Structure 1
């Protein structure tokens, strides 16, 4: 029988919750992540798939957790499903045709999950000629981040094949640690935030707000070449892209000192690497470099390494620090989220011609200037901008310069 006991949220969960609170009710679907998993080779029935999803929920506590809001407005974790069958029945949505995948991805992404009233994920089977081929999974960001989704997919495949997997460490244990022995790390992060923002440049004079801008830079650079180029400079691929991003913004704005917010995965040790929950948090990074691009790479790499060590922080404490900084005219910063497959991941092996694709952003909340470096087979930069002073022409100039510097480092091609 399930207990009615609740537990504190982790700082990662609280960070997501605070973002959700800022969203208008009709935009709360923006807290969703959607993925489609191909089923591994095998003669799988629908019951096989649903049962594996139920057992996946039993392995990872965050997948059978709902949230209750206390009198002070803090979410608390509550285990709302106690058996694999309960998880299965609550997340099961039904079966659709593989041909409907694209339409369903959009529709399911934009159907909000209320994690106070239901489990924070749901799933559909996509079938072809009556045979299950894929699983469409939608997760509220409270329960998982991008790295956690990869863990979920791998565990799902193992469970589908019949492996017995024990319960994994979950966010309940993590939250209790953060309330106790791990609280010192939170205080250290707060001091780092304050030092960094105090040193950041003031906000430039106001400019009119333009329309939301969206663009995807398809660099045409295969990920093996990206990792090879980064290794040549003894930096990570994520640091190399960040350095190109910074150098491009520096050139277009004419301002050397720039505040960045790289995303910290907070998965740098064995204790956290395999936890399915939301661990991602922003961390500030002040870059003020006057050297040519090739010479700045190592400095950007090690400065970002230092910043990412301070990724675990209390969002409420950080909000107070940021509010104080912004009242003093502080810069809102440039956001960066690298989602890059590691070396050795199956990938493209041929350089392609680069291109830029413009689009109208569907999301209306979140960072004002946001670059996602997505590299599974080849490297793409997905950019969303809704910040005063930026136009399509200035954004395109940033992308052109970024491509040029990446091509130089990778031995590639001009935009």
Structure 2
């Protein structure tokens, strides 16, 4: 049976970010991942596991009705055997990046077919890896982890066909309780627009300042352990410290990306729930990062309670406040991507043994042109990888922000 529902707030937020992207960049919202398959697994088992994902996750059989821009809808279709491509190669490991890039760079037509694709990489007839790519509206980073978990459960024969999908979230959001929650979120935004200075609108093209540092991974983890907070909060505090060093304002707003998976009915749904939420941060009274960490923890805790909201209504509030969408997009933004649950833990001793040699800031083509104009993405791993995207004219500012963050994290480590 075909069913239809409004877009969730998370899906709508993604669509508003990408709806004006020109055709030659339609691939930019795509995400891709590669999974190594168990030795000895056969092609039929891999195909059946992918089919099990389609049965279980409504997003993998959803198209989108974009006819009315003010009333967008998602259309869920009955499960069908998925069309899975097989890429045979003599050297699967060597060719994985090329296959993944090919999968991710081909755009999706959201209206005509579900916006995902799978490719089995095989040596002759033996599957070795699965590459899965999807449009961001289908699955965010947390949802990709759910797909991986469920795929391997299906291979092991332990995944049931219980259906989950974003229509459940849409129903909650349209309920009386959901509407009250959305109204409270808009009240938060309306108050915020009166309390923080308006950012200066910046325009493309963009450049990315990049820094990879194992010493900063050590510093952030030690500071987080000492202060009993997450590494993400320590790094966000260092980001704010870097920004405060460059402005005279006593308060700034930093947009953080919320996963919005706090409610039990949301946690296992494969869809995109990510939404930006602005967090007002007050300038600390002293140079110690600990005070700024506490400010970040307290302010983000409040902000996350209002992080699921109707982005169209928020844009109306922007208009009423005399601000512009471009100004909103120019707010300094922050996204911390944590180490995956199946990635090996790197101990502080291992980090110390690697030495404290630092790479300098390098410059690259930005990871995407979609989303905020001033955007720091931090990827956690054995190293911390900082990717700060800014308009080209702000390259010196980006380098200085990273330098100030670097110093703040090292100082926080020494303070312990």
Change (3 A) 1:44 1:224: farther
**Is 1:42 paired with 2:39?**
yes
State the Cα deviation string for residues 281-337 of structure 1 (Å, max 9, x = none): 000111121332232211111101111111100011011123344538966311111
Where do 5+ consecutive residues of structure 1 fail to align? Answer: none
> Match of 1:375?
380
Q: How does 1:319-338 map to 2 (within 5 A)?
A: 319-325=315-321, 327=323, 332-338=330-336
Match of 2:394, SS state, is coil
State the Cα deviation string for residues 364-404 of structure 1 (Å, max 9, x = none): 332111111211443222221127x512x321121111122
**Is 1:357 paired with 2:375?**
no
State the Cα deviation string for residues 205-233 of structure 1 (Å, max 9, x = none): x88x6852112221215868744421311
After TM superposition, the structure 1 stretch with the greater mean CA deviation from structure 2, 149-158 or 375-384, is 375-384
**How much does 1:202 deviate?**
3.3
Matches of 1:221 and 1:139 in 2, distance apart? 34
Quick check: 2:216–2:409 contact (8 Å CA) kept in 1? no
Q: How does 1:219-368 map to 2 (within 5 A)?
A: 219-221=213-215, 226-291=220-285, 292=287, 293-325=289-321, 327=323, 332-341=330-339, 346-349=344-347, 350-351=350-351, 352=354, 353-355=357-359, 356-361=361-366, 363-368=368-373
**Is 1:179 paired with 2:174?**
yes
Q: How does 1:11-410 map to 2 (within 5 A)?
A: 11-39=9-37, 41-80=38-77, 82-83=78-79, 86-89=80-83, 92-97=84-89, 98=92, 99-128=94-123, 130-180=125-175, 181-204=177-200, 211-221=205-215, 226-291=220-285, 292=287, 293-325=289-321, 327=323, 332-341=330-339, 346-349=344-347, 350-351=350-351, 352=354, 353-355=357-359, 356-361=361-366, 363-386=368-391, 389-391=393-395, 393-410=396-413
Matches of 1:260 and 1:320 in 2, distance apart? 20
- TM-score, reference length from structure 1: 0.88
Match of 1:116, SS state, is coil
Matches of 2:342 and 2:60 in 1, distance apart? 30
Quick check: 1:258–1:333 contact (8 Å CA) kept in 2? no
**How much does 1:341 deviate?**
2.7
After TM superposition, the structure 1 stretch with the greater mean CA deviation from structure 2, 340-349 or 394-403, is 340-349
**How much does 1:102 deviate?**
1.8
Match of 1:169, SS state, is coil
Match of 2:154, SS state, is helix
Matches of 2:53 and 2:342 in 1, distance apart? 27
Matches of 2:141 and 2:279 in 1, distance apart? 22
**How much does 1:185 deviate?**
0.9
State the Cα deviation string for residues 129-182 of structure 1 (Å, max 9, x = none): 543221111111111100000011011011112213232432111111111131
Quick check: 1:14–1:74 contact (8 Å CA) kept in 2? no
Change (3 A) 1:406 1:154: same
Change (3 A) 1:58 1:251: same
- TM-score, reference length from structure 2: 0.88
**How much does 1:411 deviate?**
4.9
**How much does 1:409 deviate?**
2.8
Match of 1:193, SS state, is helix
Where do 5+ consecutive residues of structure 2 fail to align? Answer: none
Quick check: 2:29–2:370 contact (8 Å CA) kept in 1? no
Matches of 2:147 and 2:218 in 1, distance apart? 25
Matches of 2:310 and 2:246 in 1, distance apart? 34
**How much does 1:77 deviate?**
1.6
Matches of 1:210 and 1:267 in 2, distance apart? 32
Matches of 1:111 and 1:343 in 2, distance apart? 29
Q: CA RMSD, aligned part only?
A: 2.5
Change (3 A) 1:87 1:66: farther
Matches of 1:343 and 1:247 in 2, distance apart? 29
After TM superposition, the structure 1 stretch with the greater mean CA deviation from structure 2, 45-54 or 216-225, is 216-225
**How much does 1:105 deviate?**
2.5
